[in-house]
Amino acid sequence: MPVQPVHPVPDYRTAPVPHVTMEDRSGNPVGRAPPQAAPPAPSPPALPAVSPPAPARAQQATAPPTPATLSGPAQATGTVTLAVQGHSVRLFGIASPGQGDQCRLGAGEPRPCSEVAGQVLADRLAHSASITCAAPPGSAAHGPARICLDDKGVDIAGFLVGEGLALDDPRQTQDYRGAEGVARSLKKGLWAYR
């Protein structure tokens, strides 16, 4: 391998940068004028001393843990997430469709499945007076994943998987494998385009 030449870099901290003048083809100077010495900047006004927040105030800012069981009206906050009693809940055992997945609502045009799933979840929750969410058996009760039933007792995660708007997540449970099989065989939701 040939030896590459090494060029020392001048240390401009000790020596000022020389002024460079560029000229056009006619010999006229081109470029900016040499910098003028700027007047000294005024000193900023003194700020009053601020004490750090008390530890009690810092603890109040953190959200309380999600209870093992929640019940009440719910709003969709995402494809497989909702809010119940001010707590964010993720539907247990399912995964959102992929970013490139397309779905159709009725005879409408294909749209991203995430939009369709969010709309269907919002509609389902709007037509249910109360949702009941409980931590799955054997899971950590403090995590956000919950099994949620609408006021008719329908498992919302199973409903979304059965409509082809969410996927069974076998890392969490095998409970929704059958619903996904039905959606695949009927070419529902995202399975219509796979």
Which CATH number fits the domain that encloses residue 107? 2.40.50.90
What is the percent of the chain with per-residue pLDDT over 70, rounded to a whole number?
Answer: 69
Q: Cα angle at 122 between 121 and 125, to 5 degrees?
A: 85
Residue 62 lies in a domain: no
Q: pLDDT at position 62, please?
A: 66
Residue 186 lies in a domain: yes
Residue 118 lies in a domain: yes
Domain count, the chain: 1
What does the pLDDT look like over 132-166, one tens digit per residue? Answer: 999 998 776 557 799 999 999 999 999 999 999 99
> Sheet of 131-134: strands edge to edge?
69-72, 131-134, 145-149, 87-91, 81-84, 74-76
Entry pTM: 0.66
Which domain, by its residues, includes 114? Answer: 69-193
Check residues 34 and 158 and name the one with the higher pLDDT.
158
Assigned token pair, 153: 């007792």
What is the percent of the chain with per-residue pLDDT over 90, rounded to a whole number?
Answer: 47
Residue 21 lies in a domain: no
Residue 4 lies in a domain: no
Above 80 in pLDDT, residue 15? no
Check residues 18 and 130 and name the one with the higher pLDDT.
130
The CB-based long-range contact list for 151-156 (8 Å cut-off, 24+ gap) reads 152/128, 156/82, 156/91, 156/121, 156/124, 156/125, 156/131
Least confident piece of the model among 61-70, 90-99, 103-112, 162-171: 61-70
Average pLDDT over residues 186-190: 89
Residue 12 lies in a domain: no
Residue 44 lies in a domain: no
